[in-house]
Structure 1
Amino acid sequence: MPQANQRRAGVLLHPSSLPGEAYTGEFGAAAKRFIDAMVAAGLSIWQVLPLGPTHDDGCPYQSSSVHAGNPDLICLDWLVDQGMLSAQQAAQGKRGPLEKRAALDQASQVFFEQLFSAGTSALVSAYSEFAGEANFWLEDYVRFQAFRDAEKSQPWSTWEPGLRNRETDTCDRRAMELAEQLSKLRFRQFIFHCQWVELKAYANERGILLFGDMPIYVHLESADVWAHQESFDLDEYGQPITVTGVPPDYFSAEGQLWGNPQYNWRHMQDDGFQWWLQRFASAARMFDIVRIDHFRALEAHWEVPADATSAINGRWVPTPGRELLNTVRENYPELRLIAENLGVISPEVEALRKDFALPGMLILQFAFDGSPDNPYLLHHHDENDVVYSGTHDNDTSLGWFLDLDDATREKVCGYFNCTASDMPWAMVSQVMASRANTAIVPWQDLLGLDGSHRMNTPGTTSGNWRWRFNWDQVPADLYQRTRDLLQQHGRLRD
C-alpha cells in the first residue's frame, strides 16, 4: 500500500466524467486508462466525489444511501467478460439510466439462474462474502429502494404506517412480495463492489491512493434516515423537526437552507456512535483517504426549524465532535482523514481540527482579496495542509482567471510572476510549489480548460454534474510536463 504522509500530487476527477461510449463515465477501461495516465504524469492521488446512488438531479452529495454505490458507474462490458451479458445487451444498456438498469437486471437473471445455481463460479463465493460483510446496511438499502419504487417514489413518511415505522411483520410481508426486485438490487450493489475493489487494487498496485468524500449530512429520502429514524431529529411521522444549513454571511444575507434532517446527537452519543462507525467502516474499505465535508458541523451545527423558509432564524448548537473523532480514531487508526474547513471558520473549529492533526484545505483561487494576511496565499501554507487550485464547486482555474476584473488579473500575474497566456499552468505550478504535503488540481486545470467545463455551480439547479472529458483534449506533452513539474517540487513518488 502506498503511504499517504509524503509529499504528493493528485487530481480531482469524478468517475462520471470519464470518457466512453456510455451515457456517463464508468469503472471500465477508461478508468484504468486514466490511472495509467496518472502514473505517466507522476500523480499519486485520485480524488473522487461521493459514489452513492444519486437522485434525479445527479448530485453526488444528496444520495439515497451513505453505503451503497451508484449503479450508473457500473461497467457493462465487465459483465460481458463475465458471461452475464451479450455485447448487444451491453450496447443497449449504455444508452441511458433506464436501459442500464434493464441490462443489469438481465445480468442478474443469468447470475442467479445459471452461475449461482451451479455454485462453481468464483463470483458466487464472492457474492456470499459481500452479502455477509455488507449485512449491516445492504438489507436496509434494498428494502428501502424496492419499497420506494413500489410506492412510485413517494416520500417514505407518506407510506403506510407499518412501512414508515419499519414494523417487522409489515416490512417482511412486503419484502416477500418484492423478493425478485430485492435480488436485483442486491446484485447491482455486488457488481458495483466487485468493480470498485478491482479498480482500487489496480490503482494501489501502481502507487495511486484513492481519496473519497464523506458529506456531513444525509438526504431525508435515504435508506439511512428511514432505517435509523432514532438517529435523526424527526417527529413520529418521520418529518424533520429541525434541518441543516449555514447562517447569513458575506455571500448570502439569508444564509443557506440545505434542508437535510439534523442528527439526534444525544442518541448517537448514547449508543457509542454506532451509525457513524458503520459509515466510517464503509469509507475505510473503499478509500485510502477520506474528506469530511463541512467539518465545522462537528464542533457546532446550525440548527433551523423545519418550517423555516430561510436559515436566518437558526442557532448554533454544540456537537459532540470531539467524542466522535476519538471513537473513530480508536476504531480506524489507519484511515487518513481530511477536514473541509472552508468558509467562515471559528477558532473552536480550528482547535478541534488541530487537536486531531487533521489536514485542512487551502484553495488558491480564494487567495487574491488584496490582503497579505489572506490564509490561502502560498506563504501561509503549512505542511499538514491539502492545497487545491479549486474544487468541484469552483470554476476551472482558467475560467476563474478570465472572469476576474483587470486589476485582480494583474495582481494574480504579479504574484505568480507570469503573463495571462501562462494561465492556468501558472496556477498549477504554484499549487505544486506549496509547502503543503498534498497538492490536488482538478483534471480540467491540467487540461487547460475554460469555465464551460465546470463541474458544478453552487446555487444553481441545472447543468451540473454532467461534464466529461475526451482523450483528444489531453495535450501530447502533458504527462512529461507534469512529471517534470512534480519532480521539481519533490512530489514524485515513483
Structure 2
Amino acid sequence: MRASGILMPVFSLPGPFGIGTLGAEAFAFVDFLARARQTYWQILPIGPTGYGDSPYQSFSAFAGNPYFIDYRLLAEDGWLTSDEVPAPVPVGTVDYGALYNERPVILKRAADRLLAEPSKAYTDFCAAQDFWLEDYALFMALKAEQGQAGLADWPDALRTREPSALAAARVRLADAVDYYKAVQFFFYTQWNALKAYANGKGVRLVGDIPIYVSPDSSDLWTHPELFQTDGQMHLTQVAGCPPDAFAADGQLWGNPLYDWPRHEAEHFAWWKQRMKHATSIYDVVRIDHFRGFESYYSIPAGNKTAAGGHWEKGPDRDFINAMHENLGEGGIIAEDLGYLTPEVKAMLSASGYPGMKIMQFAFDSRESGNYLPHTYHRNSVVYTGTHDNVTAEGWRATASPEDVHYACRYLRCAPKDLTEAMIAACLSCVSDMAIIPMADWLHLGAEARINTPSTQGSNWQWRLTTPLTSLLADHIADLTVLYDRAPAAE
C-alpha cells in the first residue's frame, strides 16, 4: 500500500508557550496533513527529556513529556484558571532552561486542583498505568529531592533501592509523587485526544522509540537486573557506535546495555510490555538502532570516546520471534542505518519489518552503503533525510561540489532544484512508504536542522516559524496523487 507522510517533531510546532504542544497548533497540523493527502505524521520520542535535552535520553521509556502539555487545554478542562495561562511569547527556538523553570510552577497549580478531588478518569489512568507510573513518579520525586542529580550520584541506599530507604521516601515524598502522576494524566489525556482526532482524519501517528534507555532513568533504577551493571547500579559497559567516516572517534552514547541472557530467560517480558505500550499510543513504531538486536557495540564504562569498544552478539531471531508473538508482524519500522553485516540483513529480512532508505546518503561519497533509488525494494521507508541529517537545502549548500554534481546528474536537475528533485525521487520510488521532513517541503536551510550527532548546545531547538499555507498543502497533495501515494477518496 503506497503512502506518504511528513516528519515533524511535536516540539517544532508553532505555538505561544516556547515549545510545540498538544494544543491547537497540533490539531491544525493534522488538518494540514489531511488536506495534503498524507497518511502519516512521524514524530520523535515524546518522553520527558534529560541530558542534553535529547528525546533519545529520557527519564522513562513510558512517560510523556510535561513540556508538551498545553495550558489552554488545561484551562478548558478546569485545571487552570484563564489568568493562570501565561501570556503568549513569540515563536522562536526552544529555550529548555526557561521551560525547566516555568513549567513545574504552572503544572503544580493544575495538579493541586486535580488531586484535591481526584476524578474517576484520573484514578482509572493510575490503575491502568501502574506497571510504570508509580516507580517513575517516585524516581522523579527523589531526583528533585537530590537537586536533580543523576542516578549514579544518588546516596547508595536510594540508588540501590534499599527497601527501608524506599519505604521512607514514599512517605516523605508522597505529595511530590502524586504531582508527577497527575502531570502524566494531563499529558496522556491530551495525547489520546490528539491521536483520536488524527485517526479520525485518516492520519496515522508514527512514533519513535530509542532502543536504549537513559543511564538516568526510572527504567534502569527499577530494573537494574535487566542491564549490564555491577550490582550496585553502576554501569559496566555502555552503548555507542564505532568510528566511521562521519565520526573519527565514533559515537559514545553512554546508555546502559541490556543483559540479554536475563531478558531471554524472562521471555523478553519487559520489551513486550514496552512495545505493547508503544503500539497503544502510536499507530506505527519506529525502533531506533534496530541493528543492535543482532549485535551491539559495547564500550567500557568510563571511556572518553567510543574508539575502545567491541561488538557483542545480541538476541537476534529470539527477540524477533518474541515481538511477533506479542504484536503480530506489522506496525514496526526498523531503523537499519549504519554498518550492516550479512547477519543484520538476515535478521531484518526475517522480521518482515521495513528498513530505511536515506536519499542524501545515495549521493554522499562518505557513505559506504548503496542508497541509490534504483536499488530500493517495496518493503522500505524512504526519507530525503532524518532528524540527524541536515536539511536537503543544507546538504546542497555544504556537500562537496562533486557529490552535488553527482546528485544533479542522477536526478536530472539543476542545483537550485535539487530539494524538489529529491522529494520527487522519494515519492516516485518503489518504497511503500515515503516520509519527507517538514523543513524540506519548505526548502529551509541548515538553520532548520534538528540534530547534529555527537554535538551539544543547539540541538532539538528548531521550531516552525513559516506559515503552512493551503497553497503548500495543495502542492504536496498534487505530488502525492501524481505518484500514487494518496489515500483512497471516501
TM, length-normalised to structure 1: 0.93
Tell me which of 245, 251, 260 is aligned to 1:256: 251
- Residues 213 and 293, structure 1, Cα contact 8 Å, conserved in 2: yes
Q: Distance in 2 between matches of 1:467 and 1:253?
A: 27
- Residues 387 and 438, structure 1, Cα contact 8 Å, conserved in 2: yes
Deviation track 1:107-143 (CA, whole Å, cap 9, x = no partner) reads: 1111122x42xxxxxxx22212211111110011000
Larger CA deviation: 78-87 vs 399-408: 399-408
Deviation track 1:237-262 (CA, whole Å, cap 9, x = no partner) reads: 21111111222333334322221121
Q: CA deviation at 1:102?
A: 1.1
Q: CA deviation at 1:314?
A: 1.9
Larger CA deviation: 162-171 vs 355-364: 162-171
Tell me which of 196, 199, 203 is aligned to 1:201: 196
Spell out structure 1 runs of 4+ moving beyond 6 A: 370-373
Q: Distance in 2 between matches of 1:403 and 1:30?
A: 32
Deviation track 1:87-121 (CA, whole Å, cap 9, x = no partner) reads: 221116987332222111101111122x42xxxxx
Cα 1:102–1:335, aligned 2, differ >3 Å: closer, same or farther? farther
Tell me which of 413, 418, 423 is aligned to 2:413: 418
Cα 1:38–1:173, aligned 2, differ >3 Å: closer, same or farther? same
Matched residue, 1:481:
475
Matched residue, 2:144:
149
Cα 1:451–1:142, aligned 2, differ >3 Å: closer, same or farther? same
Matched residue, 2:355:
360
Deviation track 1:181-219 (CA, whole Å, cap 9, x = no partner) reads: 111100000111111100000001111110011111111
Q: CA deviation at 1:59?
A: 0.6
- Residues 93 and 101, structure 1, Cα contact 8 Å, conserved in 2: no
Q: Distance in 2 between matches of 1:156 and 1:411?
A: 49
Matched residue, 1:3:
none
Aligned residue for 1:201, secondary structure, equals helix
Larger CA deviation: 481-490 vs 309-318: 309-318
Cα 1:222–1:102, aligned 2, differ >3 Å: closer, same or farther? same
Aligned residue for 1:301, secondary structure, equals strand
Q: CA deviation at 1:40?
A: 0.6
Gaps of 5+ in 2: 90-97
- Residues 42 and 486, structure 1, Cα contact 8 Å, conserved in 2: yes
Q: CA deviation at 1:406?
A: 2.9
Answering whether residue 105 of structure 2 is matched by residue 111 of structure 1, we say no
Q: CA RMSD in A?
A: 1.9
Larger CA deviation: 214-223 vs 335-344: 335-344
Tell me which of 50, 59, 64 is aligned to 2:59: 64
Q: Distance in 2 between matches of 1:20 and 1:386?
A: 30
Q: Which residue identity does 2:102 align to in structure 1?
A: E
Matched residue, 1:87:
82
Cα 1:481–1:183, aligned 2, differ >3 Å: closer, same or farther? same
Q: Distance in 1 between matches of 2:383 and 2:333?
A: 13
Q: Which residue identity does 1:353 align to in structure 2?
A: L
- Residues 375 and 381, structure 1, Cα contact 8 Å, conserved in 2: no
Q: How much identity, in percent, do the aligned residues show?
A: 38
Q: CA deviation at 1:162?
A: 2.8
TM, length-normalised to structure 2: 0.94
Q: Map 1:38-437 to 2 at 5 A.
A: 38-91=33-86, 96-113=99-116, 115-116=117-118, 124-333=119-328, 336-369=331-364, 375-437=370-432
Q: Which residue identity does 1:91 align to in structure 2?
A: P
Gaps of 5+ in 1: 1-5, 117-123
